[in-house]
Amino acid sequence: MNDAPGTYALFLRADTEQTIEVGALGTMRVSPGTYVYVGSALGPGGLAARVRRHARGDGTLHWHVDYLRAVTTLSAVWYTYDAERRECVWAAHLRRHPDSTVPLEGFGASDCECASHLVAVNPAPLFARFQQQMQTEIAEHSPIYRHELSD
């Protein structure tokens, strides 16, 4: 992953049931399973800096995902290098997944009109299918990559 701008999806695994505070959004129930958070990194440092910060899972609680990241394990990252903000399209697609739910309205979506940029989804969506659907839906979409992390 490099410092180019782009869009990313963090796959976060929760192993225990708990309730967390998510800044001004309020409380969120975290159940065991997979959560997918979609964001963009268009500023200095691009994808590499933003994903590295989220991967650490420490530091100041600045973004909504920081609160969830503190109680989950990062298992994978899907990403694309593209100066075009794709996070709303990706999040909308993931919200339409038949096994997804929105655990907290407005999560990660304070600067747009989306219901949420976070979904709980079990089982997790298939990368190849997501990749194909995004390329079909948006002809000029840049290639999508994935990085799997081990425990």
Whole-angstrom CA distances from 58 to 24, 47, 69, 117 are 19, 17, 8, 21
For residue 88, the surrounding DSSP H or E stretch is helix 87-95
pLDDT given for residue 62 in this prediction: 82
* Tokens read off for 67: 């609160």
DSSP 22: E
pLDDT given for residue 61 in this prediction: 81
pLDDT in tens, the chain (151 residues): 999 999 999 999 999 999 999 988 999 999 999 999 999 999 889 999 999 998 987 777 888 999 999 999 999 999 999 999 999 999 999 999 989 999 999 999 988 999 999 999 988 889 999 999 999 999 899 999 999 986 5
Neighbours of 7 (CB within 10 A): 27
Distance CA 118, CA 106 (A): 9
pLDDT given for residue 151 in this prediction: 56
